[in-house]
Chain A
Amino acid sequence: MKRKILPLALLAGAALVSLAVQAKVPTSLKSVDVTLPESTRALPDGPGVDLVHDNCLACHSAGMILAQPTMPKAAWEAEVNKMRNVFKAPIDAKNVPAIVDYLTAVKGPK
Protein backbone atom coordinates (compact mmCIF):
# COMPACT_ATOMS: atom_id res chain seq x y z
CA MET A 1 0.00 0.00 0.00
CA LYS A 2 2.71 2.41 1.01
CA ARG A 3 4.60 1.64 -2.18
CA LYS A 4 1.66 2.78 -4.26
CA ILE A 5 1.10 5.99 -2.33
CA LEU A 6 4.70 7.12 -2.41
CA PRO A 7 5.06 7.38 -6.21
CA LEU A 8 1.71 9.19 -6.37
CA ALA A 9 2.89 11.68 -3.78
CA LEU A 10 6.11 12.15 -5.70
CA LEU A 11 4.22 12.71 -8.92
CA ALA A 12 1.97 15.26 -7.27
CA GLY A 13 5.03 16.97 -5.84
CA ALA A 14 6.73 17.04 -9.23
CA ALA A 15 3.59 18.46 -10.84
CA LEU A 16 3.42 21.21 -8.23
CA VAL A 17 7.07 22.09 -8.77
CA SER A 18 6.73 22.18 -12.54
CA LEU A 19 3.55 24.28 -12.29
CA ALA A 20 5.33 26.72 -10.02
CA VAL A 21 8.20 26.90 -12.50
CA GLN A 22 5.89 27.38 -15.46
CA ALA A 23 4.11 30.18 -13.69
CA LYS A 24 7.33 32.08 -13.10
CA VAL A 25 9.93 31.20 -15.71
CA PRO A 26 9.62 32.72 -19.19
CA THR A 27 8.68 30.33 -22.00
CA SER A 28 10.38 32.55 -24.55
CA LEU A 29 13.25 35.01 -24.40
CA LYS A 30 13.28 38.65 -25.45
CA SER A 31 16.10 40.26 -27.42
CA VAL A 32 18.36 42.57 -25.44
CA ASP A 33 20.17 45.71 -26.55
CA VAL A 34 22.12 47.64 -23.93
CA THR A 35 24.88 50.19 -23.60
CA LEU A 36 27.80 49.72 -21.24
CA PRO A 37 29.13 52.80 -19.45
CA GLU A 38 32.55 54.24 -20.21
CA SER A 39 35.17 54.59 -17.52
CA THR A 40 35.72 58.10 -16.26
CA ARG A 41 38.72 57.42 -14.05
CA ALA A 42 42.03 58.97 -15.03
CA LEU A 43 45.54 57.78 -14.25
CA PRO A 44 47.64 60.19 -12.17
CA ASP A 45 50.18 62.19 -14.16
CA GLY A 46 53.79 61.10 -14.10
CA PRO A 47 56.63 59.93 -16.32
CA GLY A 48 55.39 57.13 -18.56
CA VAL A 49 51.67 57.84 -18.16
CA ASP A 50 51.20 58.16 -21.92
CA LEU A 51 52.77 54.75 -22.47
CA VAL A 52 50.42 53.22 -19.92
CA HIS A 53 47.47 54.89 -21.67
CA ASP A 54 48.57 53.59 -25.05
CA ASN A 55 49.59 50.08 -23.99
CA CYS A 56 47.37 49.06 -21.07
CA LEU A 57 43.97 50.70 -21.41
CA ALA A 58 42.94 48.98 -24.64
CA CYS A 59 42.13 45.86 -22.62
CA HIS A 60 41.05 47.32 -19.28
CA SER A 61 40.03 50.62 -17.77
CA ALA A 62 42.28 52.62 -15.43
CA GLY A 63 40.35 51.47 -12.36
CA MET A 64 41.94 48.04 -12.64
CA ILE A 65 45.36 49.56 -12.02
CA LEU A 66 44.17 51.99 -9.35
CA ALA A 67 42.46 49.24 -7.30
CA GLN A 68 45.61 47.11 -7.08
CA PRO A 69 47.45 46.81 -3.79
CA THR A 70 50.91 48.25 -3.22
CA MET A 71 53.39 45.95 -4.93
CA PRO A 72 57.17 46.10 -5.33
CA LYS A 73 58.81 46.73 -8.69
CA ALA A 74 59.51 43.03 -9.32
CA ALA A 75 55.81 42.25 -8.95
CA TRP A 76 54.85 45.03 -11.37
CA GLU A 77 57.44 43.75 -13.81
CA ALA A 78 55.88 40.28 -13.57
CA GLU A 79 52.42 41.78 -14.17
CA VAL A 80 53.49 43.71 -17.27
CA ASN A 81 55.28 40.67 -18.66
CA LYS A 82 52.20 38.54 -17.99
CA MET A 83 50.02 41.01 -19.89
CA ARG A 84 52.53 40.99 -22.75
CA ASN A 85 53.42 37.29 -22.96
CA VAL A 86 50.24 35.58 -21.80
CA PHE A 87 47.41 37.96 -22.68
CA LYS A 88 49.28 39.16 -25.80
CA ALA A 89 49.04 42.87 -25.09
CA PRO A 90 50.95 44.40 -28.03
CA ILE A 91 53.56 46.13 -25.85
CA ASP A 92 56.92 46.88 -27.48
CA ALA A 93 59.69 45.34 -25.33
CA LYS A 94 61.53 48.65 -25.26
CA ASN A 95 58.56 50.28 -23.49
CA VAL A 96 58.31 47.73 -20.69
CA PRO A 97 60.82 49.40 -18.30
CA ALA A 98 59.08 52.80 -18.49
CA ILE A 99 55.67 51.21 -17.90
CA VAL A 100 57.01 49.26 -14.92
CA ASP A 101 58.60 52.45 -13.53
CA TYR A 102 55.29 54.33 -13.80
CA LEU A 103 53.33 51.54 -12.08
CA THR A 104 55.96 51.28 -9.34
CA ALA A 105 55.85 55.06 -8.83
CA VAL A 106 52.04 55.07 -8.59
CA LYS A 107 51.38 51.72 -6.88
CA GLY A 108 54.74 50.75 -5.36
CA PRO A 109 55.98 50.96 -1.76
CA LYS A 110 56.39 54.57 -0.64
Chain B
Amino acid sequence: MQNQAFISKALTRRRLLGQAGIAGLTALAAPAWAQTMVTLPLPGGPGERSVTTGFPQKGAMILQRTRPPLLETPFEVFDKGVFTPNDRFFVRWHWSVIPTSIDVDSFRLNVHGHVNQTLSLTLKDILALPRVELAAVNQCSGNSRGFFQPRVPGGEWGNGAMGNARWTGVRLKDVLDRAGVKPGAVQVRLKGLDTPPVPDGPDFMKSLAVDHARDGEVMIAYAMNGEQLPLLNGFPLRIIVPGWYATYWVKMLSDIEVLDSPDTNFWMKTAYTIPDTPHADMKPGQADVKMIPINRLNPRSFITNITSGTTIPAGKPAPVHGIAFGGDSGVKRVDFSADGGKTWHATHLGKDEGKYSLRRWETRFTPTAKGNYTLMVRCTNNSGEAQPAQANWNPAGFMRNIIESTPVSVA
Protein backbone atom coordinates (compact mmCIF):
# COMPACT_ATOMS: atom_id res chain seq x y z
CA MET B 1 0.00 0.00 0.00
CA GLN B 2 2.73 2.41 0.98
CA ASN B 3 4.85 1.33 -1.96
CA GLN B 4 1.99 1.99 -4.34
CA ALA B 5 1.50 5.45 -2.90
CA PHE B 6 5.19 6.15 -3.30
CA ILE B 7 5.24 5.01 -6.91
CA SER B 8 2.21 7.06 -7.87
CA LYS B 9 3.73 10.12 -6.20
CA ALA B 10 7.03 9.60 -8.01
CA LEU B 11 5.23 9.26 -11.34
CA THR B 12 3.24 12.41 -10.68
CA ARG B 13 6.42 14.31 -9.91
CA ARG B 14 8.15 13.04 -13.02
CA ARG B 15 5.16 13.94 -15.13
CA LEU B 16 5.07 17.41 -13.65
CA LEU B 17 8.80 17.86 -14.22
CA GLY B 18 8.39 16.68 -17.80
CA GLN B 19 5.66 19.19 -18.43
CA ALA B 20 7.73 21.92 -16.85
CA GLY B 21 10.61 21.00 -19.14
CA ILE B 22 8.49 21.26 -22.27
CA ALA B 23 6.85 24.47 -21.22
CA GLY B 24 10.25 25.82 -20.21
CA LEU B 25 11.40 25.63 -23.82
CA THR B 26 8.61 27.86 -25.04
CA ALA B 27 8.09 30.25 -22.13
CA LEU B 28 11.16 30.67 -19.97
CA ALA B 29 9.82 33.38 -17.72
CA ALA B 30 6.37 32.01 -16.87
CA PRO B 31 5.87 28.99 -14.62
CA ALA B 32 4.54 25.96 -16.50
CA TRP B 33 1.18 26.19 -14.81
CA ALA B 34 0.58 29.92 -15.09
CA GLN B 35 -1.23 30.14 -18.38
CA THR B 36 -2.87 33.49 -18.79
CA MET B 37 -3.49 36.65 -16.85
CA VAL B 38 -6.72 38.34 -15.84
CA THR B 39 -7.27 41.75 -14.32
CA LEU B 40 -9.77 42.02 -11.51
CA PRO B 41 -11.16 45.59 -11.41
CA LEU B 42 -10.02 46.26 -7.83
CA PRO B 43 -9.96 49.98 -6.94
CA GLY B 44 -6.34 51.12 -6.63
CA GLY B 45 -5.08 47.71 -7.78
CA PRO B 46 -3.19 45.54 -8.11
CA GLY B 47 -5.76 43.51 -10.04
CA GLU B 48 -3.50 41.36 -12.20
CA ARG B 49 -3.73 37.64 -11.42
CA SER B 50 -2.54 34.47 -13.15
CA VAL B 51 -5.09 31.94 -14.31
CA THR B 52 -3.69 28.56 -13.33
CA THR B 53 -4.42 24.91 -14.11
CA GLY B 54 -1.59 23.78 -11.86
CA PHE B 55 -3.63 22.62 -8.88
CA PRO B 56 -4.69 18.98 -8.55
CA GLN B 57 -8.31 18.14 -9.48
CA LYS B 58 -8.89 21.78 -10.46
CA GLY B 59 -9.42 23.39 -13.86
CA ALA B 60 -8.57 26.99 -14.76
CA MET B 61 -8.68 29.08 -11.59
CA ILE B 62 -7.63 32.62 -10.69
CA LEU B 63 -4.49 32.33 -8.58
CA GLN B 64 -4.84 34.52 -5.51
CA ARG B 65 -2.14 32.74 -3.52
CA THR B 66 -0.18 29.52 -4.09
CA ARG B 67 0.49 28.57 -0.45
CA PRO B 68 -1.75 28.05 1.38
CA PRO B 69 -3.94 27.90 -1.72
CA LEU B 70 -6.45 30.64 -2.49
CA LEU B 71 -8.09 29.96 -5.86
CA GLU B 72 -10.93 32.07 -7.23
CA THR B 73 -13.62 30.90 -9.64
CA PRO B 74 -13.43 32.89 -12.90
CA PHE B 75 -16.73 34.75 -13.08
CA GLU B 76 -17.75 33.41 -16.50
CA VAL B 77 -18.23 29.98 -14.85
CA PHE B 78 -21.35 31.36 -13.13
CA ASP B 79 -22.97 32.04 -16.51
CA LYS B 80 -22.95 28.33 -17.37
CA GLY B 81 -25.39 27.10 -14.74
CA VAL B 82 -26.41 27.36 -11.12
CA PHE B 83 -24.18 24.48 -10.02
CA THR B 84 -20.46 25.26 -9.94
CA PRO B 85 -18.37 22.38 -11.33
CA ASN B 86 -16.11 20.80 -8.70
CA ASP B 87 -12.98 21.55 -10.70
CA ARG B 88 -13.90 25.26 -10.83
CA PHE B 89 -15.09 25.59 -7.24
CA PHE B 90 -13.16 28.18 -5.22
CA VAL B 91 -10.50 27.12 -2.73
CA ARG B 92 -9.44 28.76 0.51
CA TRP B 93 -7.07 27.40 3.19
CA HIS B 94 -5.83 29.16 6.31
CA TRP B 95 -2.71 27.10 7.13
CA SER B 96 -0.20 25.61 4.72
CA VAL B 97 0.29 22.16 6.23
CA ILE B 98 -2.40 20.31 4.28
CA PRO B 99 -2.23 16.52 3.85
CA THR B 100 -1.81 15.76 0.15
CA SER B 101 -2.48 12.07 0.58
CA ILE B 102 -5.63 10.68 2.19
CA ASP B 103 -6.05 6.93 2.61
CA VAL B 104 -9.73 6.08 2.82
CA ASP B 105 -9.16 2.95 4.92
CA SER B 106 -7.11 4.56 7.66
CA PHE B 107 -8.98 7.89 7.84
CA ARG B 108 -10.94 8.40 11.07
CA LEU B 109 -13.47 10.98 12.21
CA ASN B 110 -13.24 11.35 15.99
CA VAL B 111 -16.13 12.52 18.15
CA HIS B 112 -15.36 13.35 21.76
CA GLY B 113 -15.85 15.86 24.57
CA HIS B 114 -19.15 16.28 26.37
CA VAL B 115 -20.61 13.01 25.05
CA ASN B 116 -21.62 9.67 26.51
CA GLN B 117 -19.32 7.71 24.23
CA THR B 118 -16.34 8.82 22.17
CA LEU B 119 -16.39 7.63 18.56
CA SER B 120 -13.72 6.90 16.01
CA LEU B 121 -15.63 6.48 12.76
CA THR B 122 -14.30 5.05 9.51
CA LEU B 123 -15.52 6.41 6.19
CA LYS B 124 -17.47 3.15 5.77
CA ASP B 125 -19.22 3.82 9.10
CA ILE B 126 -20.18 7.28 7.88
CA LEU B 127 -21.35 6.17 4.45
CA ALA B 128 -23.58 3.61 6.16
CA LEU B 129 -25.58 6.31 7.96
CA PRO B 130 -28.79 7.69 6.36
CA ARG B 131 -27.91 9.74 3.30
CA VAL B 132 -29.14 13.31 2.86
CA GLU B 133 -28.72 15.82 0.07
CA LEU B 134 -29.21 19.54 -0.45
CA ALA B 135 -28.09 22.34 -2.73
CA ALA B 136 -26.31 25.21 -1.01
CA VAL B 137 -24.16 28.22 -1.76
CA ASN B 138 -20.73 28.18 -0.16
CA GLN B 139 -19.41 31.73 0.02
CA CYS B 140 -16.23 33.00 1.65
CA SER B 141 -16.87 35.64 4.35
CA GLY B 142 -14.43 37.85 2.45
CA ASN B 143 -15.79 37.30 -1.06
CA SER B 144 -15.42 40.61 -2.97
CA ARG B 145 -13.03 41.99 -0.32
CA GLY B 146 -10.93 43.56 -3.08
CA PHE B 147 -13.77 46.01 -3.81
CA PHE B 148 -13.79 47.49 -0.29
CA GLN B 149 -13.00 51.19 -0.10
CA PRO B 150 -10.88 52.05 1.76
CA ARG B 151 -9.13 48.82 0.89
CA VAL B 152 -8.42 46.29 3.63
CA PRO B 153 -5.70 43.61 3.86
CA GLY B 154 -6.49 39.92 3.32
CA GLY B 155 -7.33 37.66 0.40
CA GLU B 156 -7.98 40.24 -2.33
CA TRP B 157 -10.89 38.43 -3.97
CA GLY B 158 -13.06 39.61 -6.80
CA ASN B 159 -16.60 38.13 -6.78
CA GLY B 160 -15.56 34.53 -7.36
CA ALA B 161 -14.97 33.26 -3.81
CA MET B 162 -18.32 31.50 -3.91
CA GLY B 163 -19.88 28.44 -5.46
CA ASN B 164 -23.02 26.36 -5.41
CA ALA B 165 -23.14 22.57 -5.23
CA ARG B 166 -25.45 19.70 -4.51
CA TRP B 167 -23.99 18.26 -1.32
CA THR B 168 -24.49 14.66 -0.25
CA GLY B 169 -23.64 13.25 3.12
CA VAL B 170 -25.01 12.48 6.55
CA ARG B 171 -26.61 14.67 9.17
CA LEU B 172 -24.21 15.98 11.80
CA LYS B 173 -27.14 15.29 14.15
CA ASP B 174 -27.02 11.56 13.40
CA VAL B 175 -23.31 11.39 14.24
CA LEU B 176 -23.80 13.41 17.43
CA ASP B 177 -26.71 11.17 18.42
CA ARG B 178 -24.50 8.10 18.07
CA ALA B 179 -22.05 9.65 20.52
CA GLY B 180 -24.86 10.89 22.78
CA VAL B 181 -24.61 14.58 23.59
CA LYS B 182 -24.66 15.06 27.37
CA PRO B 183 -26.95 17.60 29.03
CA GLY B 184 -25.19 20.93 29.44
CA ALA B 185 -23.45 20.84 26.04
CA VAL B 186 -23.40 24.32 24.45
CA GLN B 187 -21.32 24.14 21.28
CA VAL B 188 -19.92 21.65 18.80
CA ARG B 189 -16.37 22.39 17.67
CA LEU B 190 -15.17 21.24 14.27
CA LYS B 191 -11.58 20.74 13.17
CA GLY B 192 -9.89 19.47 10.02
CA LEU B 193 -6.55 17.84 9.22
CA ASP B 194 -4.80 21.08 8.22
CA THR B 195 -2.26 22.43 10.73
CA PRO B 196 -0.09 25.53 11.15
CA PRO B 197 3.55 25.42 9.99
CA VAL B 198 4.57 27.30 13.15
CA PRO B 199 4.55 25.56 16.55
CA ASP B 200 2.21 27.91 18.41
CA GLY B 201 -0.06 28.98 15.56
CA PRO B 202 -3.75 28.64 16.49
CA ASP B 203 -5.28 25.51 14.94
CA PHE B 204 -8.20 26.34 12.66
CA MET B 205 -11.39 25.35 14.51
CA LYS B 206 -14.98 26.57 14.23
CA SER B 207 -17.95 26.02 16.52
CA LEU B 208 -21.70 25.91 16.10
CA ALA B 209 -24.33 26.13 18.83
CA VAL B 210 -25.51 22.63 19.80
CA ASP B 211 -29.04 23.32 18.55
CA HIS B 212 -27.69 24.51 15.20
CA ALA B 213 -25.40 21.49 14.89
CA ARG B 214 -28.39 19.24 15.58
CA ASP B 215 -30.91 21.00 13.33
CA GLY B 216 -30.89 18.14 10.81
CA GLU B 217 -29.64 20.37 8.00
CA VAL B 218 -26.00 20.80 9.02
CA MET B 219 -24.33 17.98 7.15
CA ILE B 220 -21.09 16.03 6.98
CA ALA B 221 -20.71 15.87 3.19
CA TYR B 222 -18.74 13.20 1.34
CA ALA B 223 -19.86 14.20 -2.14
CA MET B 224 -20.45 17.40 -4.08
CA ASN B 225 -22.27 17.42 -7.39
CA GLY B 226 -22.36 13.63 -7.34
CA GLU B 227 -18.63 13.03 -6.89
CA GLN B 228 -16.23 12.76 -3.99
CA LEU B 229 -14.84 16.16 -2.99
CA PRO B 230 -11.62 17.42 -4.58
CA LEU B 231 -8.88 17.31 -1.95
CA LEU B 232 -8.62 21.10 -1.97
CA ASN B 233 -12.36 21.39 -1.31
CA GLY B 234 -12.06 19.20 1.77
CA PHE B 235 -11.81 15.51 0.81
CA PRO B 236 -12.92 13.21 2.32
CA LEU B 237 -15.42 15.01 4.59
CA ARG B 238 -16.60 18.59 4.82
CA ILE B 239 -19.11 20.25 7.10
CA ILE B 240 -21.98 21.94 5.23
CA VAL B 241 -23.70 24.75 7.13
CA PRO B 242 -26.50 25.79 4.76
CA GLY B 243 -27.12 29.53 4.65
CA TRP B 244 -23.99 30.38 6.67
CA TYR B 245 -20.62 31.70 5.54
CA ALA B 246 -17.95 29.25 4.38
CA THR B 247 -15.73 29.79 7.41
CA TYR B 248 -17.91 27.26 9.25
CA TRP B 249 -17.73 24.71 6.43
CA VAL B 250 -14.66 22.97 7.90
CA LYS B 251 -12.72 20.97 5.31
CA MET B 252 -11.03 17.56 5.81
CA LEU B 253 -13.18 17.25 8.91
CA SER B 254 -11.45 14.88 11.34
CA ASP B 255 -12.47 16.01 14.79
CA ILE B 256 -15.78 16.89 16.43
CA GLU B 257 -15.63 18.05 20.02
CA VAL B 258 -18.76 18.74 22.04
CA LEU B 259 -18.09 21.63 24.42
CA ASP B 260 -19.77 22.40 27.74
CA SER B 261 -18.69 26.06 27.64
CA PRO B 262 -18.56 28.63 24.82
CA ASP B 263 -15.61 28.29 22.44
CA THR B 264 -13.14 31.13 22.98
CA ASN B 265 -10.56 29.93 20.46
CA PHE B 266 -9.02 32.62 18.22
CA TRP B 267 -11.01 31.65 15.11
CA MET B 268 -14.31 32.16 16.94
CA LYS B 269 -13.58 34.96 19.39
CA THR B 270 -11.29 37.24 17.38
CA ALA B 271 -11.13 36.21 13.74
CA TYR B 272 -14.25 36.12 11.59
CA THR B 273 -16.13 38.64 13.70
CA ILE B 274 -18.37 41.36 12.25
CA PRO B 275 -19.84 44.59 13.60
CA ASP B 276 -23.22 43.85 15.20
CA THR B 277 -24.86 46.50 12.99
CA PRO B 278 -27.15 46.46 9.92
CA HIS B 279 -25.16 45.05 6.94
CA ALA B 280 -22.15 44.56 9.26
CA ASP B 281 -21.33 48.17 8.45
CA MET B 282 -19.13 50.59 10.36
CA LYS B 283 -16.83 53.56 9.72
CA PRO B 284 -13.07 53.12 9.34
CA GLY B 285 -11.52 53.82 12.73
CA GLN B 286 -14.85 53.75 14.54
CA ALA B 287 -14.36 52.78 18.20
CA ASP B 288 -16.54 50.78 20.61
CA VAL B 289 -18.23 48.68 17.95
CA LYS B 290 -19.69 45.47 19.33
CA MET B 291 -18.30 42.54 17.34
CA ILE B 292 -20.01 39.14 16.98
CA PRO B 293 -19.08 35.95 15.10
CA ILE B 294 -20.06 36.11 11.42
CA ASN B 295 -23.09 33.95 10.71
CA ARG B 296 -25.87 34.01 8.08
CA LEU B 297 -25.23 34.78 4.41
CA ASN B 298 -26.91 37.90 3.11
CA PRO B 299 -28.66 38.01 -0.30
CA ARG B 300 -26.71 38.75 -3.50
CA SER B 301 -27.32 38.79 -7.23
CA PHE B 302 -25.20 39.20 -10.33
CA ILE B 303 -25.61 39.68 -14.05
CA THR B 304 -23.55 36.93 -15.68
CA ASN B 305 -24.06 37.39 -19.43
CA ILE B 306 -23.15 41.09 -19.80
CA THR B 307 -19.85 42.50 -18.54
CA SER B 308 -18.96 46.12 -17.80
CA GLY B 309 -18.29 48.21 -20.88
CA THR B 310 -20.25 45.98 -23.27
CA THR B 311 -21.93 47.69 -26.24
CA ILE B 312 -25.59 46.75 -26.79
CA PRO B 313 -27.44 47.54 -30.05
CA ALA B 314 -30.29 50.07 -29.70
CA GLY B 315 -33.87 49.08 -30.45
CA LYS B 316 -33.40 45.35 -30.01
CA PRO B 317 -34.40 43.30 -26.99
CA ALA B 318 -31.22 42.22 -25.21
CA PRO B 319 -31.48 39.14 -23.01
CA VAL B 320 -30.11 39.71 -19.52
CA HIS B 321 -29.66 36.91 -17.03
CA GLY B 322 -27.67 35.87 -14.05
CA ILE B 323 -27.63 34.29 -10.63
CA ALA B 324 -28.96 35.15 -7.18
CA PHE B 325 -29.01 33.66 -3.73
CA GLY B 326 -31.13 34.56 -0.75
CA GLY B 327 -28.74 33.67 2.05
CA ASP B 328 -30.54 31.49 4.56
CA SER B 329 -34.11 32.08 3.41
CA GLY B 330 -34.27 31.66 -0.36
CA VAL B 331 -34.74 34.09 -3.23
CA LYS B 332 -38.10 35.86 -3.11
CA ARG B 333 -37.52 38.14 -6.09
CA VAL B 334 -34.82 39.60 -8.27
CA ASP B 335 -35.42 43.06 -9.73
CA PHE B 336 -33.63 44.62 -12.66
CA SER B 337 -32.94 48.29 -13.39
CA ALA B 338 -31.49 49.78 -16.57
CA ASP B 339 -31.40 53.35 -15.27
CA GLY B 340 -29.03 53.13 -12.33
CA GLY B 341 -31.69 52.15 -9.82
CA LYS B 342 -34.35 54.81 -10.53
CA THR B 343 -36.89 52.27 -11.75
CA TRP B 344 -37.03 48.52 -11.21
CA HIS B 345 -38.95 45.62 -12.66
CA ALA B 346 -39.23 42.00 -11.59
CA THR B 347 -37.26 39.37 -13.46
CA HIS B 348 -38.37 35.81 -14.18
CA LEU B 349 -36.91 33.32 -11.72
CA GLY B 350 -35.56 29.96 -12.89
CA LYS B 351 -35.93 26.53 -11.29
CA ASP B 352 -35.98 26.50 -7.50
CA GLU B 353 -33.27 24.09 -6.32
CA GLY B 354 -33.98 24.83 -2.66
CA LYS B 355 -33.72 27.87 -0.45
CA TYR B 356 -29.95 27.66 0.04
CA SER B 357 -29.12 27.27 -3.66
CA LEU B 358 -28.14 29.72 -6.35
CA ARG B 359 -31.13 30.55 -8.52
CA ARG B 360 -31.11 31.75 -12.10
CA TRP B 361 -33.05 34.87 -13.11
CA GLU B 362 -33.68 36.34 -16.55
CA THR B 363 -35.25 39.33 -18.23
CA ARG B 364 -35.03 41.44 -21.38
CA PHE B 365 -33.78 44.97 -21.82
CA THR B 366 -34.80 46.93 -24.93
CA PRO B 367 -32.96 50.26 -25.00
CA THR B 368 -34.58 52.77 -27.36
CA ALA B 369 -32.09 55.64 -27.07
CA LYS B 370 -28.34 55.50 -27.61
CA GLY B 371 -26.09 56.41 -24.71
CA ASN B 372 -24.71 55.10 -21.46
CA TYR B 373 -26.78 52.90 -19.17
CA THR B 374 -26.15 51.42 -15.75
CA LEU B 375 -27.64 47.96 -15.36
CA MET B 376 -28.41 46.84 -11.82
CA VAL B 377 -29.84 43.76 -10.23
CA ARG B 378 -31.23 43.41 -6.72
CA CYS B 379 -32.18 40.28 -4.79
CA THR B 380 -34.77 40.27 -2.02
CA ASN B 381 -34.87 37.14 0.12
CA ASN B 382 -37.85 35.43 1.72
CA SER B 383 -37.12 37.18 5.03
CA GLY B 384 -37.71 40.49 3.21
CA GLU B 385 -34.05 41.54 3.24
CA ALA B 386 -32.93 43.28 0.05
CA GLN B 387 -29.43 44.10 -1.13
CA PRO B 388 -28.43 47.63 -0.07
CA ALA B 389 -27.66 50.52 -2.45
CA GLN B 390 -24.63 51.52 -0.37
CA ALA B 391 -21.54 49.36 0.13
CA ASN B 392 -20.86 48.20 3.66
CA TRP B 393 -17.42 48.54 5.27
CA ASN B 394 -15.69 46.70 8.09
CA PRO B 395 -11.98 46.17 8.76
CA ALA B 396 -11.96 42.48 7.77
CA GLY B 397 -13.73 43.03 4.44
CA PHE B 398 -16.67 40.74 5.21
CA MET B 399 -20.24 40.40 3.87
CA ARG B 400 -20.15 42.70 0.87
CA ASN B 401 -23.57 42.57 -0.82
CA ILE B 402 -24.16 45.97 -2.40
CA ILE B 403 -26.44 46.03 -5.47
CA GLU B 404 -24.04 45.35 -8.35
CA SER B 405 -23.78 47.89 -11.20
CA THR B 406 -22.83 47.07 -14.77
CA PRO B 407 -22.19 50.12 -16.98
CA VAL B 408 -22.91 49.48 -20.67
CA SER B 409 -23.23 51.65 -23.76
CA VAL B 410 -26.05 51.45 -26.28
CA ALA B 411 -25.10 52.22 -29.87
Q: Are the C-beta atoms of A33 and B5 separated by less than 8 Å?
A: yes
How big is chain A's contact interface, by range?
Answer: 35 or more
Q: Distance in Å from the Cβ of B10 to the closest Cβ of chain A?
A: 10
Most chain A beta-carbon neighbours within 10 Å: one of B52, B63, B67: B67
A33-B5, A67-B64, A79-B153 as given contacts; A21 in contact with B202, CB under 8 Å: no
| A26 at the B interface (CB under 8 A) | yes
Q: By the criterion CB–CB under 8 Å, are B96 and A34 in contact?
A: no
State whether A71 and B123 are in contact (beta carbons under 8 Å apart), knowing that A34-B57, A35-B100, A88-B196 are contacts in the complex: no
- A37 lies within 8 A of B55 (CB): yes
Please, which residues of chain A bring their CB within 8 A of the CB of B12? 33-35
Q: Is the CB of B156 within 8 A of A69?
A: yes
Tell me, yes or no, whether B389 is within 8 Å of chain A by CB: no
A8 at the interface (CB under 8 A from B): no
Nearest Cβ on chain A to B38's Cβ, whole angstroms: 13
- Contact at B101–A36, with CB atoms within 8 Å? no
Task: Kindly state the separation between the CA atoms of A41 and B66 in the bound complex, as whole angstroms.
Answer: 9
A22 to chain B, nearest CB (A): 8
CA distance A40 to B67 in the complex (A): 11
| Interface residue? A47 (CB, 8 A) | no
Is A81 engaged at the interface, CB distance under 8 Å to the other chain? no
Are A60 and B68 in contact (CB-based, < 8 A)? yes
Give the contacts of A56-103 with B (CB-CB under 8 A): 58-61, 63-64, 66-71, 75, 79, 86-90
Closest to B34 in A: A40
Q: Which residue of B lies closest to A88 (CB)?
A: B200
Interface residue range, chain B: 35 or more
A6 at the B interface (CB under 8 A): no
| Chain B neighbourhood of A40, CB < 8 A | 31, 34, 66
Partner among A36, A67, A75 whose Cβ is within 8 Å of the Cβ of B100 = A36
Is A88 in contact with B198, judged by CB distance below 8 angstroms?
yes
B153 touches A75 (CB 8 A): yes
Stretch with Cβ within 8 A of A (4 or more), from B41-49, B82-90, B257-265, B344-352: B41-49
**Most B-side CB within 10 Å, residue of A18, A40, A64, A69:** A69
| A-contacting 9-mer, from B171-179, B222-230, B241-249 | B222-230
A54 CB to closest chain B CB (Å) equals: 13
Cα A71 to Cα B131 in complex, Å, equals 49
Interface string of B127-167 (1 = CB under 8 A from A): 10001010000000000001000011100100000000000
Which residues, 2 to 32 on A, are CB-close (under 8 Å) to B?
17-18, 21, 24-32
Task: Tell whether, in the assembled complex, residue A35 and residue B9 are in contact, meaning their CB atoms are under 8 Å apart.
Answer: yes
Q: Which of A21, A34, A60, A69 contacts B45 (CB under 8 A)?
A: A69
Instruction: Please pick, from B31, B152, B228, the residue contacting A29 in the complex, using a CB distance under 8 A.
Output: B228
* Residues of A with C-beta under 8 A to B197: 58-59
The distance from the CB of B11 to the nearest CB of chain A, in whole angstroms, is: 10
When chains A and B are docked, how far (Å) is the Cα of A95 from the Cα of B174?
51
Verify B65–A64 contact, CB threshold 8 A: yes
When the two chains form their complex, are residues B69 and A21 in contact, meaning their CB atoms are under 8 A apart?
A: no
CB–CB A58/B198 < 8 A: yes
Report 26 cross-chain contacts, Cβ distance below 8 Å, ordered by A residue. Answer: A21-B133, A26-B227, A29-B228, A31-B101, A31-B104, A32-B57, A32-B101, A33-B101, A35-B9, A37-B52, A37-B55, A37-B66, A39-B66, A58-B197, A58-B198, A61-B67, A63-B64, A63-B65, A64-B70, A68-B153, A69-B42, A69-B44, A69-B156, A79-B153, A89-B198, A90-B199
- A-B pairs, top 8 by smallest CB distance, nearest first, are A34-B56, A69-B151, A24-B226, A39-B66, A88-B200, A40-B31, A37-B54, A61-B67
